[in-house]
Every structure is written in structure tokens, then in C-alpha cells.
Structure 1
């Protein structure tokens, strides 16, 4: 059964059975005790066995994997002697095939993920959202999916949040309260993410996990080195990215059970950053992924200073252990020593708790899973030295390695295709244009109504003026008529006419009375007087 040589301890070779390498592991120890060198040696071993590797290069010195070590280098001089001491007869200086990656695209190929791939849970962790804000974020993702809006970058998410804020009243009746205060808090956190460089991480082309799982033309697994020195200044982004990477592997890779060798091995340096101040929901997610990803053929190795940095639910999944020296200067250190000692399968020949504080640089307590799956008894082991350079590469060397690897430039040029930001922007522009048009129409209608009212008012005023003029003309005519009637000539004619009429009337009346009543006697009676009065009045009128 294929094995990966770790070192020699107790007079025996200590090896990692490759069939059990997907049962995860832990490399722990205080600063300067050799954790990184052990990690480098293990990465070399996996690569030589045809297993692709991912490592986060926190200090920049793991980049030396790409270059063969040299006996002329001061740090490398003891390595040949150590290899001879532990009986590693095949040991020789050699380089390892690598690919450089960088979330910021400065020291390697850009690594990108879309907002949709990250998901609301990890984004909420990344932004430190509370439960209410996380709920609003989940609603934004749900509506984007329902409405066919792609969430690719931070602009898309900000546009989606602005849209649900505008529709808060309608959305709240279906999905629960969406307050503008919560949306504003998320928007402020997104602004902080931009300040941390997350804008370069979110977008396309997104990382294809298959590019992490290549071998070179000699069958050696490619070691993918993530430049994390700058990323460490944004620990929340670092932790979220690593967890996203694990989640993507879990969702992408098929079930394979326990293959003869892992399909991929992860080394997470500064692993405590994954768990510091992490909410319970996120810890549960990490534990679930670590537990289940084993069946996908992926091994996960956490590298940290103290074993108690790893939550118990996760630590219980780590079957392969390399424990470098710990210092028991503080109560926390002492608890770490006891915890580390208790996790090993005991060996009557070793007082583990005491040995942990006495280990030399490059020496470790090692317990690996055996072929039958049981942990081997702990042994005090001299760890195999790496074959590659211990230390960083120069910028020129890094540039050449990046330019000549198999990835090429497929990730170097960002892509900005139509997504939520563009679609919602167009929708908002259409709404604004429609609102402006409606406002213009309303203004025109108002102007028309005002003009009509003014026209009606003018017509009424003209009619009033015409009637007033007519009345004035009638009044003037009446006045003129009165004036004419009041002249001396008119008065004389009127008086003569009235006199004549009166005389004629009396004469006619008298004659009619005689005709009616007969004699003069009869004409002097009461009836004759009445008749004469009527007839006389007629003529006078």
C-alpha cells in the first residue's frame, strides 16, 4: 500500500498511508518549531505521489516549493545530514510543480468567485451580519433567483439590495419585514468589503475547481500556492474564501469513498482564523463539510499554533497528527499541552505531555492512521526535510513561473457580462423615464387645463363686457328718449294732442250716450255719466 514518508521515530519509519490521507490531519506547534517545513515536506510528498495540493502561503516562504533547494544555502545545509540520519536514501534536492494564485491578482493568477457561488451564509459571515440582516440578505438571493437576475459581483448585490429596499412594503407581506435600516447596514458592510479588496475577488471568470486538480507531464500533482500574506490583513475574507473553496469542492466532486490516494489535499495555514468569533451556524457548516468531504476523496490538514484553536467537532475528524513543540508559559498554553497530549494514542515509552514541551526544531510527536484505519501509537519523530527551497522566490522567478504554467491567461482578464446590476439599472432607468414622461404629460395636461380655464374666463369676461355695454346702450337710449320728451316743443305738441283728444272724446261720448239713452234727460243719468267717462278716457289715452 502506497505511503508517504514522514520521518523516523522510535527506530521505525513513520509514514502516512495514502489511502487514509483523506481522513484529514493536524499540524500544530508554536512559532519557530518547524510547522511550515513539515507542511512543505508533506506537500512535496503528496505531489510526488501524483496528488494535487492546495496551500495558503501566509508568510511567503512556501513559494520556495517551486525551486530546488541548494546545499549552498545556509538553511539547507543540514538537510542532507538529516535525511541520512533518518534513513531517507532517496532524498535529493528537487523542485515541485506549482501554480501561483492570488485573490488580488498581484502575485499569481486571479482567484474569483461569484456572489451566487458564495451564497448568503458565507457572505453574512464575511460581513459580520446579525440574524435580521442575514435574513434580508437571504431574501435578496431568493428574489434574484426567482426573477432570473445573476448575482456575480458586489455591484450586482448592491443593486439587488437597493431594489428590495424600494419594494420593501410589497416584499414584507410575503417574505417578512425588510427594513431600509437593515438594507443600509448591509450596504455599509459591502462598502467595507470593497475597502478590503473583495471587489477583485467577486466576479468572473470564476475559478474552475478542476484547475486545482491537475498533474504535470511527469505525473506529479500540481501544488497550488495561494499568496496569503496580503490577504492576512483581511482575516475575515481569508477565512470565508477557504471555507467557500471547501464548499465548492464538496458540491462539485463526486462520491468516491476511500480512494487509493486523495484526489486533492488542502493545507489551511493559520487555521484559527477560520474559527475566531465564528457563529454557531458557521461552525456547524465547517464541521459538516470537513466530515463529509472525505468521501469526495479530499483531505484537509489544518496548520495552527495550538490544538485548542480547532473546535472539538472539527478536531474529532482529524485522524493524522503531527505535533511540534508547545510552550507552557501561560494557562492557555498549559491547556493546549494537555489537550494535545490527550488526543494521541498513548505509547508507554513516551510521556507525551512532557515531551511536547521538550521537542527540538524539526522534531514532532507523530501519530498517523494505519492501513486498518486505527491510529498508530504516538512516536517522537525526526521529520523528513524538504527537497525544495525553504524560503521565498524572487519576483522575477515568480513572474517566469506564472507566465509558463498551464493556466495561461484564462483568468487574467475580468469579464463583466449582463447581470443584476445592468438589468436593474436598465429597469430603474426605464421607470425613471416613464415617471419623467408621466410627469411631463401631467404638466402638459395641467397647462392645457389652465389654458382652457383662462380661455373660458376670458370668454365670460367678454360676455360680461358685452352685456354691460348693451345695458349701457339701453340706458343711454332711455335717457335720450326722456331728454327728447322733456323738450318745450314736445311738451306743447303733447299738450295740444291731449287737449284735442279730450275734446273729441267728450263729443263722441256725448253722442254715444244720446244714442244709447235717448233724451237729454236720459243722458244726464248715472249710466250716461259712466259711459261718457269711459269713452273720454279712451280718447285721452
Structure 2
């Protein structure tokens, strides 16, 4: 039925292990607590446990200290004292297989996807578009598809939007009204996402999401570590990436139900960033994916300071809970403590609301699903120590591991193949050349007409001149003849000659 994963030791009876059952690890979970109460150590303990079990892990490293998973721990007097207090004889220190990822390509392998893969519906939710704007964006994708224009990166979509904005009359008949206002709103929201680094996320080669699901030669699950220290400053991009990743897994993985152990476990640190300042539609999409993805064998664990940071619909999906200390300095803090206490199954031996504020560093209230999938009574426990080091990697150590990774070289080089941007540039150039030719033809036509008119005027002038010259010559000749012959005979002869010359009788 699975394997019990030891999380901690009961504070009252340290011989009693507090466990999470692997067959219910896909029922999701929560690690909560104020800053400095031990959430990161708990996160490491769970990640190590899943890795030893052969379950791949994905986690966001917000502070950069989780990189210590790649180094084995070591004995220190303080550490040994902690082991003794927990009735643990020794810890088999070990390093764990880690693959580093980074959307900004600085501290790990790049992560990218294409505009086409993310699709108009998810992109609309990310950009917080209304129904009309979402319809226009869907039409833009359809036009691109019908015209064989690949939408791979940001510049492709921007070029497509600009092209349609300038040529709306060409598409209105087949695709409906594409209002300039909606197109402009989409372009502005795209720029806002690009300012947060979204232009780095879209491109090729796109990530094969199944690269997250790997084990090493010893059968241990690979821990995929996302460098998130810089990403935290761009919450919209963070939410975009995590939602896309879950949606991709949901689409690609088959339905499996409850397994002996999950296929993959996600840890989302600073989980409140997924829900702060996001649209209702985007939150709804996140909630839907979280609710349904467990049937794919995926477990999701949210790490945040306060359980109230998460929407109630999400909290209701989290069966495994680890609550570190909360502080109750203000009325708002007191409300949060009470809300956190009410989420646990009551233990008659514990005043949960009071205990939450008294927990020491490394101590937590734990309630996981039991063998029947029912929430256990909450217990106060000490989190067991991790097997890896507490010292984060240096930049040189991190780069060494990145270059030794089995996937090094697959995603490092950005590929910019011919797509919508390049083809539209060619089309725009051709249109400009056609317009220039038409303009040149117009100019040539005007010049031809001007020359033709000038030639006609000149021909008319010459014809008039010839006519006048002929008349002058004929008149002079007639007068000369008349004078020479004289009388009526001369006049009659002159009239006959003039009539022959000028067509008169």
C-alpha cells in the first residue's frame, strides 16, 4: 500500500514517528509558518524522502539555500545534540541528484515553451483579458494557423497583432470584428508580461515536461531545482510558468488514480504569489488543475507563511499539513492563528491555537492522511534532520553540476527558426514593394499623359501653322495669276484654283 515517510518525532514520545504515507502523497499538502521557523528544512526533508523513494521532485528555490541538497551533510556538535534529543543514533549523510533550471538562463538550464503550445485560452487568463479580448486573441491564433504562420515567441505574436491591426478589413469577413481597442489591450498586456521577463519564457527549444520525471542510476528521484530568487520579483511570470507546467503535465500524463507512490511531487514556495493580484479566471484555472491533477499521480505542496494566503478552495484540497509557528502580534495575526488551528483534526491533549504560537524553530504541528486516507489527529512534533548539507553551493559548484547534467546542451542554445515574425516581415516588404511599384506606375502614367497632351498641342500648333502657310501661299499665287491674266477670265481661273486648293466650289 505504499511506504511511510518519516517527517518528524512526537515531542512527547520521541519513539513515535510522525509519517506521511506515500500512497496518499498525491493528495497534496501545505507547509506553513512564519519566517525563520524551519519551513525550508521541512521542505528539504520531504524532498530527500521522496527522492530516496524514487519519486522525482520539482521545487522552487526562493532564497538559493536549497541548492545544498547536492552536498552530503556532516556531523557537528550541535547536530549530534539534536540527534540525541530525538533518539536517532546516526544519519546516513548523502548528496542527492539535482538538476538546476532557470527561466532567466543564468543559474540553470533554460525553460521555454512556445506561444502556440500555451494556447489562446491559457494566455488570455495569464494576460487577464475579458471575454471580448479573449475572443479576439483566439481569432489571432486561428488566422495565424490558417495562414501557416507559426507563433513561437514573443516577437511572433507581437508581429501578428500588428499585422492584423493594420489589415483588419482583410479578416473581418471570415473572423468577425477585430476591434482596434481589443487588439491594443492585448498588445499592452503582452508588453507588461515582457517587462517581467516573459519574452525569455517563450521560444524554442520548448521544454519536454517529461524531463522532470527522471531517476538516477541508483533509482533515486531527481530533484529539479528552479532558481526562483529573481523570479519572485516577477510574480505574473512565476504564476504563468507554474500554471503552464501543471497544465502540460495534466494533458500529457494518463489517469492513474492512487499509486503506491506519486509519479512526481511539486513544492511551490512563496505560494501566495500564485494568487495575489491574479484574475478570478486565472485562480479558477489553478484551482481546477490542483483539484484534478492528483488523478495523474502528481502531488502538489504549497509553502507559505500563512494558510490564509491560499484560497479556501485550494486549502480544502490539501490533505497533508505541516504547520510551523505563527506569530500573533496583531488582530490580523490572531485571526490567522485561529484559522490555522481550525484546519486540523482536534487533538484533545493539545490546545492547538495556543501551541501554534509557542512552537520552537524546527517544531511543527503535523496532520497527514492515515492508511485509510483520513486526516490524522494533529500531533506536535520535531522535524527530523535532513541528510544533505546546510551550506548552499557556490557559483562555481553550481556551474559544474549544470555542465555535468545529462540534459546539458539540449536547451542551452536558443533556436530562432522561420516563423510568423520572419514571414510577416517578408509579406510586409512585398506589400511595400507593391505599393512603391503602384506609385511609380502612377507617376509614369501621369508623365505619359503630360507628354501626350504636350505632343497633341504641338501637333495642333504645327497643323494650324501649315494651314496658315498654305493659305498665304495660295492667296499670293492667286493674286499673281489674276494680275497676269486680268479681267473676268483671270478672276474665274483664280476662283477655280482656290476652290481646288481649299475644297471650295
- Fold shared per TM-score above 0.5: yes
Corresponding position: 1:117 with 2:121:
no
Residues 177 and 335 from structure 1, CA distance in 2 versus in 1: closer, same or farther, beyond 3 angstroms? farther
SS at 1:15 equivalent:
strand
> Residue by residue, what CA displacement relative to the aligned partner does 1:387-426 show, whole Å, maximum 9, x if unpaired?
2122421011101111112112111111111211122222
1: CA distance, partners of 2:290 / 2:43: 19
Whether the aligned pair in 2 keeps the contact of 1:255 and 1:296 (CA below 8 Å) is: yes
Counterpart of 2:366 in structure 1 is 366
Residues 219 and 481 from structure 1, CA distance in 2 versus in 1: closer, same or farther, beyond 3 angstroms? same
Counterpart of 1:134 in structure 2 is 134
Whether the aligned pair in 2 keeps the contact of 1:34 and 1:361 (CA below 8 Å) is: yes
SS at 1:141 equivalent:
helix
How far the C-alpha of 1:121 sits from its partner, in A, is 3.7
Match of 2:49 among 45, 50, 58: 45
Alignment of 1:114-263 (within 5 A): 114-263=114-263
Counterpart of 1:85 in structure 2 is 85
Whether the aligned pair in 1 keeps the contact of 2:153 and 2:199 (CA below 8 Å) is: yes
Match of 1:29 among 27, 33, 38: 33
SS at 2:358 equivalent:
coil
SS at 1:377 equivalent:
coil
SS at 1:357 equivalent:
helix
Corresponding position: 1:60 with 2:60:
no
Per mean C-alpha deviation after superposition, the further-off stretch among 186-195 and 271-280 is 186-195
SS at 1:191 equivalent:
helix
Per mean C-alpha deviation after superposition, the further-off stretch among 413-422 and 327-336 is 327-336
Counterpart of 1:295 in structure 2 is 295
Higher radius of gyration, 1 or 2: 1
How far the C-alpha of 1:88 sits from its partner, in A, is 4.1
- Unaligned 5+ segments in structure 1 are 498-541
SS at 2:245 equivalent:
helix
> Residue by residue, what CA displacement relative to the aligned partner does 1:280-307 show, whole Å, maximum 9, x if unpaired?
2111111110111101100000001110
Counterpart of 1:20 in structure 2 is 24
> Residue by residue, what CA displacement relative to the aligned partner does 1:206-244 show, whole Å, maximum 9, x if unpaired?
111121111111111000000011111211111111111
2: CA distance, partners of 1:167 / 1:316: 49
Whether the aligned pair in 2 keeps the contact of 1:82 and 1:384 (CA below 8 Å) is: no
How far the C-alpha of 1:356 sits from its partner, in A, is 1.0
SS at 1:189 equivalent:
helix
How far the C-alpha of 1:116 sits from its partner, in A, is 1.5
Corresponding position: 1:321 with 2:325:
no
Whether the aligned pair in 1 keeps the contact of 2:61 and 2:225 (CA below 8 Å) is: yes
SS at 1:99 equivalent:
strand
Corresponding position: 1:6 with 2:7:
yes
Residues 145 and 494 from structure 1, CA distance in 2 versus in 1: closer, same or farther, beyond 3 angstroms? closer
Moved over 6 A (4+): none
Residues 246 and 454 from structure 1, CA distance in 2 versus in 1: closer, same or farther, beyond 3 angstroms? same
Residues 203 and 480 from structure 1, CA distance in 2 versus in 1: closer, same or farther, beyond 3 angstroms? same
> Residue by residue, what CA displacement relative to the aligned partner does 1:190-220 show, whole Å, maximum 9, x if unpaired?
3343333322221111111121111111111
2: CA distance, partners of 1:193 / 1:475: 94
> Residue by residue, what CA displacement relative to the aligned partner does 1:116-164 show, whole Å, maximum 9, x if unpaired?
2222344334444455433332221222233332111001101111122
2: CA distance, partners of 1:421 / 1:392: 42
Counterpart of 1:512 in structure 2 is none
Per mean C-alpha deviation after superposition, the further-off stretch among 175-184 and 264-273 is 175-184
Residues 89 and 465 from structure 1, CA distance in 2 versus in 1: closer, same or farther, beyond 3 angstroms? farther
2: CA distance, partners of 1:87 / 1:266: 31
Corresponding position: 1:469 with 2:469:
yes
How far the C-alpha of 1:474 sits from its partner, in A, is 4.1
Whether the aligned pair in 2 keeps the contact of 1:41 and 1:384 (CA below 8 Å) is: yes
2: CA distance, partners of 1:426 / 1:461: 52
Counterpart of 1:526 in structure 2 is none
1: CA distance, partners of 2:415 / 2:487: 113
Counterpart of 1:449 in structure 2 is 449
The count of residues paired between Structure 1 and Structure 2 equals 485
Counterpart of 1:355 in structure 2 is 355
1: CA distance, partners of 2:256 / 2:107: 34
2: CA distance, partners of 1:355 / 1:135: 52
Whether the aligned pair in 1 keeps the contact of 2:196 and 2:236 (CA below 8 Å) is: no
Whether the aligned pair in 2 keeps the contact of 1:60 and 1:391 (CA below 8 Å) is: no
What TM-score comes out, normalization by structure 1 length? Answer: 0.85
Residues 90 and 19 from structure 1, CA distance in 2 versus in 1: closer, same or farther, beyond 3 angstroms? farther
Q: Output the aligned Cα RMSD.
A: 2.2
SS at 1:40 equivalent:
helix
> Residue by residue, what CA displacement relative to the aligned partner does 1:84-142 show, whole Å, maximum 9, x if unpaired?
43344562322111010100111011111111222234433444445543333222122
How far the C-alpha of 1:476 sits from its partner, in A, is 4.4
Residues 409 and 80 from structure 1, CA distance in 2 versus in 1: closer, same or farther, beyond 3 angstroms? farther
2: CA distance, partners of 1:191 / 1:281: 20
Residues 83 and 461 from structure 1, CA distance in 2 versus in 1: closer, same or farther, beyond 3 angstroms? farther
What TM-score comes out, normalization by structure 2 length? Answer: 0.90
